[in-house]
Structure 1
Amino acid sequence: MKAARLYEYDPAMNVQLQIEDVRPPTINGPDDVIVKVGAAGLCRTDLHIIEGVWKDIMDEGGNLLPYIMGHENAGWVEDVGSNVKSVKPGDAVICHPHRTCGICLNCRYGEDMHCENSLFPGLGLDGGFAEYFLTSERSLIKLNPNVTPLDVAPMADAGITAYRAAKKAAKLLRPGAYCVIVGVGGLGHIALQCLREISGCRIIAVDREPAAQVLCKELGADFVLDGGPNVIEEVREITGGGAQVVIDFVGELGVENICWQMVRQGGQMFVVGYGGKVEVPTVHLVIEEINVGGSLVGNYTELVELMELNADGKVKMHYTQYSLDDINTALDDFKNRKFTGRGVIVP
């Protein structure tokens, strides 16, 4: 099969993935499922993988490279193991990014993204930047008949990460309260739509890109700011002292130390993007009594819920499509923010 493989890490992001023919995956266990990839989303984590940010984790068992990236996958079931009952060849599916055991305590609690025995196709083993990839029955959700893999693939990670953060925020947001979304790219534009559906809050969207600002207005943001040097003051003026919740989908480049200054007394900042370092004076944490916490990828149930919102037309992924042969162009466009929303690779 054709696949895009990473051969070396490079902090400068000058390396390119190699398009080559490799042996397709095979069924190795009774719960295995081989998926014919219909679409695979590009994620900022893919850029961080190439940069070597994840090297120590990925190479724990020895040098992983070369390997196939791609952890936001949807497609059609190609083959199944002997114990698989819930899906059959030909079924259209979206794949939760983790392959989980189902029996550890975290899985029993329903927080399967914390599974003690999880595997992560695309991050530690071969993923979906290929014609086929291997996953497990527990990871699969059958798609509604009117939904195509291309339309939802990035929701496998970006979508549920944004949805989980929006759900956390919604619990803290009464009608009329303010939520600031910083970075309205692949994740942020999903969070904005989710908040419109599950919360009565007022949404302030912050992004420097004009195209993203246009999208924010189309998706119903109450206020759209360009993230200029006075953005903290602008937010505090709109909200009368700060927002009840701020969600940071950037997490680096200094943005992480702007976001907490937008939070009102007693409010919450959720960090979703990563790469930087949050530095908050402890006296500010105490006097303002703000909370700063992270939010990881969503669990399996949250992906089911998001697929329901998508099937009803309430939350949609905005994306730019690339062929597998053009994956390096897609990565370069992503790095340089040449598209709005998400990039999607179609083998």
Structure 2
Amino acid sequence: MRAVVFEQYNTFPSLGEVERPTPGPGEVLLKVAGAGACHSDVAIYKEFQEGQPGSMPPSFVLGHENSGWIEEVGPGVDGFTKGDAYLVYGPVGCGHCKMCSKGQDTYCENAATMPYLGIGLGRDGGMAEYVVVPARNLVPLGDADPVAAAPLSDAALTPYHAIKNSLPNLAGGGRFALVVGLGGLGQIAVQILTALTGATVIATDMKEDAMARAAERGAITVPGGEGQVERIREITGGRGVDAAFDFVGATPTIKTAQASMAQGGRLTVVGIAGGVTEWSFFTTPYESTMTNTYWGTIEDLYDVVAMYRAGQIVPDIERYAMDDALEAYRKLEAGELSGRAVVVPHA
């Protein structure tokens, strides 16, 4: 079968032939409907160095945002019907620690002993015609379009988890939420905030087309650059925002979110650009919180699918045939995509 393979560090992936996998005990073989291309993939093959924390040794098939149809089940697996569509929960932990038992494989207590972090993250992923996944990692899609759903397993799950944890800050009238960075995750974050809260959503980015899409979804947009924080605080009547979500994670974006906070506010850094910042008692709003999150739980993914099926989340996607999968990654690297690139192997 054809697949996009990460073969060595600091090297663009290749599109080639690999052996079709066979499901083992407790596993299912999916015929891939869609596989989303994420910036995390770019970090895997372009930015990480051998031995660096977070790096995963090659080679393996990329793709951690996956959907597909049941093709075959492994030993000990039942309850699935061939042809039914599912979304794949990407993280794979040990399966028996406290965090994994809660469905939060992202925070597996035995992660250091695991040979991979997840599907497409050290273990063969879904940027291929077929992928093997643990049966427990499947969330049913029903009759919803599985191709458009593929990015939701990260691009929606990640902001959903961050927003869910911040809901107490947004409960009540007159609340404000800030979304910094309007790529795939930020655009869906605007939709989730609008659906789950009554907060006024403020969204900021450097790209005019990204801000236009956020504005169509009900956000008040503020362009990046000079006067950015002043404008955000002006919208809130000078008080600041009750919850901020930074989907970039660079030093300037973290500082922008910090400077926009209200007393008692909560800042969640979701992006992993590796930015650093400073904290001072005298410049930090009293009782404000700064935290970070990584991906989400499989319980969260069930909620995400429910929102998708209800029309509350509509991902912006660009479809690519398998022949054009490497072009999707080239455009992703170059910042030329206006939506999430989804590779459709069986188009």
Q: Which residue of 2 aligns with 1:243?
A: 241
CA contact (8 A) 1:100 1:139 kept: no
- What's the secondary structure of 1:84's corresponding residue? coil
1:284, distance to aligned residue in structure 2 (A): 4.0
Matching residue within 134, 149, 159 for 1:162? 159
- The secondary structure found in structure 1 opposite 2:33 is strand
2:23 matched to 1:27?
yes
Q: How does 1:222-301 map to 2 (within 5 A)?
A: 223-239=220-236, 240-252=238-250, 254-284=252-282, 288-301=286-299
In structure 2, what is the Cα distance between the partners aligned to 1:286 and 1:243? 13
Deviates more, 1:15-24 or 1:51-60: 51-60
User: What is the root-mean-square deviation of aligned Cα atoms in Å?
Assistant: 1.9
Match of 2:42 in 1: 47
TM-superposed deviation, 1:54: 6.9
CA distance in 2, matches of 1:281, 1:218: 35
Structure 2 CA distance for aligned equivalents of residues 16 and 100 of structure 1: 28
Query: Which structure 2 segments of 5+ residues have no match?
Result: 112-116
1:3 maps to a residue whose letter is: A
TM-score by structure 1 length? 0.91
* Map of 2:140 onto structure 1: 142
Deviation of the 1:129 alpha carbon: 1.0
Q: Determine the C-alpha separation between the residues in 1 that align with 2:336 and 2:23.
A: 39
Greater CA drift, 303-312 or 283-292:
283-292
Aligned residue number for residue 14 of structure 2: 18
SS class of match (1:175): coil
Out of 276-285 and 130-139, give the one that drifted further.
Answer: 276-285
SS of alignment partner, residue 123 of structure 2: coil
Q: Secondary structure at the match of 2:308?
A: helix
Over 3 Å counting, the alpha-carbon distance change for 1:287 and 1:71 in structure 2 is closer
Shift of 1:88: 2.8
1:107 lines up with 2:103 in the alignment:
no
Aligned residues: 337
- Contact 2:15–2:326 (Cα < 8 Å) also in 1: no
- Structure 2 Cα separation of the partners of residues 280 and 289 of structure 1: 16
Relative to the length of structure 2, the TM-score reads 0.91
Q: How much does 1:66 deviate?
A: 2.6
Change (3 A) 1:75 1:287: closer
**Distance across 1 between alignment mates of 2:336 and 2:120:** 24
Write out aligned runs for 1:313-324 (5 A): 313-324=311-322
Deviations 1:264-301 (A, max 9, x none): 22211100001222312332466643211001111001
Q: Classify the secondary structure of the residue corresponding to 2:157.
A: helix
Assess if the C-alpha contact under 8 Å between 1:58 and 1:124 holds in 2.
no
- Equivalent residue of 2:81, what SS? coil
* Mean CA deviation greater in 332-341 or 158-167: 332-341
CA distance in 2: counterparts of 1:284 and 1:345, whole angstroms: 49
SS of residue matched to 2:119 = coil
Q: Deviations over 1:232-271 (max 9, x none)?
A: 1111111123111110001126322222111122211100
Residue-by-residue CA offset, 1:89-125 (whole Å, 9 max, x unaligned): 2111110002345432112334333234565111111
1:77 to 70, 78, 84: 70
